[in-house]
Structure 1
Amino acid sequence: MQTAKHSVRYLHLFKIPEKKKEYLARKLVGFSKDEMYLVVADVRHYKLFLPFCTKSTILRCHPKELKASLEIGFPPVVESYTSTVTLDRPNLVRAVCRDGRLFNYLETTWRFSPGLRSNPKSCIIDFKIKFEFKSVLHSQLASMFFDRLVHQMENAFINEAKRRYGKESLPSHQLSPVKS
């Protein structure tokens, strides 16, 4: 006697997105380490050039660390959060938020290393952002636009460097990211 094996498949119409996200990028750019560091460390002016940043205020400032309040919005959601920003000129800018209403945590790291030996006006940027939303709604909204938002953010810093320092010494090149 033969028995029939039945398999049951479930159709998931609505996939609940992962609340945790991580993005890594590595890029060779035509600006020096110090130039890129100065753009990324200039948190006070993010509201002027960073997409979706509507407010950027320095709450406390020390030579190697600052506390900043940022307001970000991608309508219909506008939220504010506070980050502690570690500064190591011209090598590193790291912003960490662990007490926001929007995120369980948010960590953004920019590392700057020398670029081409033959071009002192170049550097390699290693960029990492990782976060976990508190809300599934925020996670769903971000999932729809995540890649585009991150690329816009990266490009905003490069464009601000162009505005401040002029034309790049070489075109930017995407490199394979190094997981740290």
Structure 2
Amino acid sequence: MILKSRQLHLYRILNKEKYYRAKKLIGYSDEQMYSVVADIKHYKQFLPFCTKSTILDTKGNILHANLEIGFPPVVENYTSKVTLVQPRMVKAQCNDGRLFNYLETTWKFAPGLPSNSNSCIIDFYVKFEFKSMLHSQLATMFFDRVVKQMEFAFVDEVRRRYGKESIESHMLKSEVS
């Protein structure tokens, strides 16, 4: 049993791919959540570790955005293709080859409680693989905390913009690797 535990730990350290998924019922509408998650140019104002967020171009519901992210001691930037489907989804994909082999972040929004129009179900998913083993090691040490801070930052921003939630949030499902 100890050997199996050590093998799993070693696999987690050497595996450069990481993912996180959370599904929650929250006390804000899908439109409210969508408006914050789609507001990429303002990420630098509320998203932890984001020091720069720039929209490079927009064509219909597709845009390209450059983000600068600081995970001390490392600060990096990357460009993502972002697909917007109002008010249901914001999906960002990065394949620019400098920092990540790939990065995919998806936010899906669905109506919440039938009796409460100010509720929705968010399905948040992030999956990535760093090019560098150094970045992978840093991610392994801090990954859980960083993705949860990021997720909470969006909900906090919705709260700042729209006020108190109509119901308390409830975790429906969570996965991490």
Please give the TM-score of this superposition, normalised by the length of structure 2.
0.91
SS state at 1:162 partner: helix
Q: Distance in 2 between matches of 1:156 and 1:116?
A: 23
**Partners in 2 of 1:83 and 1:176 — Cα distance?**
27
2:19 corresponds to which letter in structure 1?
E
User: What is the match of residue 142 of structure 2?
Assistant: 145
Residue 68 of structure 1 corresponds to which residue in structure 2?
65
Which AA in structure 2 matches 1:128? Y
> Hey, what does 1:131 align to over in structure 2?
128
Q: CA RMSD in A?
A: 1.7
Amino acid at match of 1:60: D
Q: Secondary structure at the match of 2:116?
A: coil
- The equivalent of 2:20 in structure 1 is 23
- Separation in 2 of the partners of 1:169 and 1:65? 32
* Residue of structure 1 equivalent to 2:108: 111
3-state SS, counterpart of residue 168 of structure 2 = coil
Question: 1:52 maps to which residue?
Answer: 49
Q: Give 1:177 shift.
A: 5.0
Identify the match of residue 99 of structure 2 among 102, 115, 138. 102
Match of 1:43 among 31, 40, 43: 40
Over alpha carbons, which structure has the higher Rg?
A: 1
Gap runs ≥5 in structure 1: 1-8
Q: Which runs of 4+ in 1 moved over 6 A?
A: none
The TM-score with structure 1 as length reference comes to 0.89
* Residue type of the alignment partner of 1:123: C
Q: Distance in 1 between matches of 2:17 and 2:69?
A: 18
What is the distance in 1 between the residues matched to 2:27 and 2:96? Answer: 36
Size of the aligned set, in residue pairs, is: 168
**Cα displacement (A) at 1:61:** 1.5
* Percent of residue pairs identical: 65
Amino acid in the other structure paired with 1:63: G
Contact 2:99 2:131 in 1 (8 A): yes
The answer to whether the 8 A contact 2:20-2:174 is kept is no
Whole-Å Cα distance in 2 between the matches of residues 110 and 17 of structure 1? Answer: 28
SS at match of 1:128: strand
